[in-house]
Structure 1
Amino acid sequence: MSLYPLKFTPLYKYRIWGGEKLKTVLHKEYQEDSIGESWEISDVKGDETQVSEGSLAGKTLSALIEEFKEAIVGKKVYELFGTEFPLLIKFIDAKTPLSIQVHPSNEIAKERHNSFGKNEMWYVMEAEKDAELIVGFNQRVDKKSYVEALESGKILDVLNNDTVAPGDTYYIPTGRIHAIGAGVLLAEIQQTSDITYRIYDYERVDATTGKTRELHTEQAVDVIDYSVSDTYKTAYTKPENGTNTLVHSPYFKTNIMNVKGEMEKDYSELDSFVIYICAEGSLELVFNNTTYKISKGETVFLPASIDAVSLKSENADVLEVYY
């Protein structure tokens, strides 16, 4: 059986802060209210996405890896992770702010939860006027002053707020305190992990439980990176019909492509799967004389055995993700 570009059926997640933009902006199809996350490509246990079309429809990532091994993910990824897929791709719609949170490192996550850590990145797709992200601290703090700010209800005073616009990109390494603010729709690329330490949640009550959500104050203190940066935003340029670096980390690599007209992509030297996330516009992907249409908010998985594809668009911004 030959491999082809794969689309997966997303999994939709209720969130206390979720809105309607996954439906109204990205044209996702679901009936529930307050859907905050669309898990596009997931191998999280119990939340595995399935191929939506073609001869491999219904198969999960781990089943595909078991069957096709390095042909689907690449030799290096297969040797490192076996049948586990290392990345989780999401769209997130925050109608109200997310909790202030932090993620543990690989080492701590392995020790405490038998899980990967959660290094991640954000690419802003839509942002309402004055919408913000919280990333890092705005002043020098240590463990003692952080705990004092938290206990006195002044934690927001020491956090860095950035007003954001479409295209803004942030890398969130483990240990960096962060939160998505109200009115932001973004793409998130992260390690396969669902481990989050919630630090502060505005004392909100979850309507589905009638209770406030659990905080992880003690666990978080030891994993926070207390350093301060001048800027947390990723600087980049976006050349027309070119590919440029967004975030290259030890856990994933993400580039930005602006497709105008036709673009040929040669992956013969790349030992990895490739994931396309259409962040703006729409495009056509041509492989083996078959055309695959990709709209804003759609995600496509290219198996590692695919060496070349052609991309066509009037004007599309595409995130290119690989290991």
Structure 2
Amino acid sequence: MKPYPLQFQPEMKERVWGGRALERFGLTLPEGHIGEGWMIGDHPNGTTKVVNGELAGLGLDEIRETYGKTFFGSKGFSEKNGRFPLLIKLLDCQDDLSVQVHPNDHYDKLPPGELGKTEMWYVLDAKPGAKIIYGLNPDVTRETMAQAIAENRIMDCLNEVPVQAGDSFYIPAGTVHALCSGVLVAEIQQNSDTTYRIYDYDRPGLDGKPRELHIEDSLNVIAYKGAGATRMTTELSQSGEWLTLAQSPYFVTEKGLVQGDWSLSTSADSFVIHVVCEGSGSIRWADGELAAAAGQCFLIPASLGSYSLHGDMTVLRSYLP
């Protein structure tokens, strides 16, 4: 079978902080407060299925098992669990997320087969005055953090930053963080669903009961001296060039401006994932063409070779280092 760009049916997740904003991308949402669209996923808690071409109806896990390194590349698997190594999401935050932190791959209390979670956010939209929690204030230690949690004044320890569309945030495992209300985000992350909540504003979950907190695990995995988190404002003035937003051991994410036709190519090492942030156009390759619009995500097989992005759009490109 000839390789071709894959598009998937998203897995929608209801969250207490979610809303309906993902509908702006033409996505069909189930009822409820939809906070997460898992756009490309191969995880026990959500596996997306192909909607286009010869492989339509197959899950990403089935493609992995059948086509292996041909599609995903020589680096295209998690060494720990053999699964697709990344999870691609769109997040609609109509309320504040819990203050949280993620472990790295080496934390000894991870569930069997689960990875740590290093991630990055690209802000697609932000209401005036929107902010996020991003790291700790200077000189916060495990002891001062534990005391602040016990005294219900954790916000004294947290660094709040304003956000606007186009901002990018790299969030290595160990970074305390929280998206706040009024932001719409594309998230590139390790293929993990492990989150340790530190604080959740004393609110009930979807079931009316308080959501579980994970204080001891959080205190164990926080990088108090800093995990290497970086942020940037990403203005592009020229098309056909990639701006690096995040470079981690697990993925590289870049931003590019498409104006006209941009010729690209895959390598045998890694698949490529494109997230369309703004505008519209198409993906063209030797055997076909696929329309592309804001909010859509595509997996380009490592074996595809030459292809091009065409149109007028802003895109993210992610691949394995």
* Same-fold call, TM cutoff 0.5: yes
**1: CA distance, partners of 2:175 / 2:229:** 13
Q: 1:296 aligns with which of 288, 291, 294?
A: 294
CA distance in 2, matches of 1:26, 1:152: 42
Once the two structures are superposed, residues 280-304 of structure 1 have per-residue CA deviations (whole angstroms, 9 ceiling, x without a partner) of 1112111124221111000011111
SS in 1 for 2:76: helix
Q: Answer with 152-161 or 166-175: which moved more.
A: 152-161
Q: Size of the alignment, in residue pairs?
A: 318
Q: What is the Cα deviation at residue 163 of structure 1? A: 0.6
C-alpha spacing 1:301/1:38, structure 2 compared with 1 (3 Å) = same
Q: 2:316 aligned with 1:319, yes or no? A: yes
Q: Give 3-state SS (helix, strand or coil) of 1:213's partner.
A: coil
Specify whether residues 79 and 16 from structure 1 end up closer, same or farther in structure 2 by C-alpha distance, changes over 3 A only: closer
1:228-274 per-position Cα deviation (integer Å, ceiling 9, x unaligned): 5998413655332212211111001111111011111122x451000
Which residue of 2 is the match for residue 305 of structure 1?
A: 303
Match of 1:158 in 2: 157
How do residues 113-124 of structure 1 correspond to structure 2 at under 5 angstroms? 113-114=111-112, 115-124=114-123
Distance in 2, Cα, partners of 1:244 & 1:12: 30
Aligned twin of 2:203: 204
| Structure 2: segments with no counterpart, 5+ residues | none
Contact between 2:175 and 2:229, CA under 8 Å: does it hold in 1? no
What is the aligned-residue RMSD (CA, Å)? 1.8
Structure 1 spans left out of the alignment, 5+ residues: none
Looking at structure 1, the residues matched to 230 and 252 of structure 2 have their Cα atoms a distance apart, in angstroms, of 18
What letter corresponds to residue 14 of structure 1 in structure 2? Answer: E
1:260 aligns with 2:259: yes
Residue 22 (str. 1) matches residue 19 (str. 2): no
Question: What is the Cα deviation at residue 26 of structure 1?
Answer: 2.0
Matching of residues 177-216 of structure 1 within 5 Å: 177-206=176-205, 208-216=206-214
Q: Report the Cα offset of residue 46 of structure 1.
A: 4.1
C-alpha distance in structure 2 between counterparts of 1:85 and 1:229, whole Å: 24
Residues 258 and 34 (structure 1 numbering): CA distance in 2 closer, same or farther, change over 3 Å? same
1:7 corresponds to 2:4: no
Q: Is the CA contact 2:175–2:227 (under 8 Å) kept in the aligned structure 1?
A: no
2:284 aligned residue: 286
CA distance in 2, matches of 1:151, 1:159: 15
Structure 2 contact 172–227 (Cα < 8 Å) conserved: no
TM-score by length of 1: 0.94
Instruction: Supply the AA of the counterpart residue of 1:37.
Output: E
Identity of aligned residues (%): 39
Q: Deviations over 1:101-142 (max 9, x none)?
A: 00011001x643121100000000000001011110122111
Q: 1:197 & 1:111 partners in 2: Cα distance?
A: 11
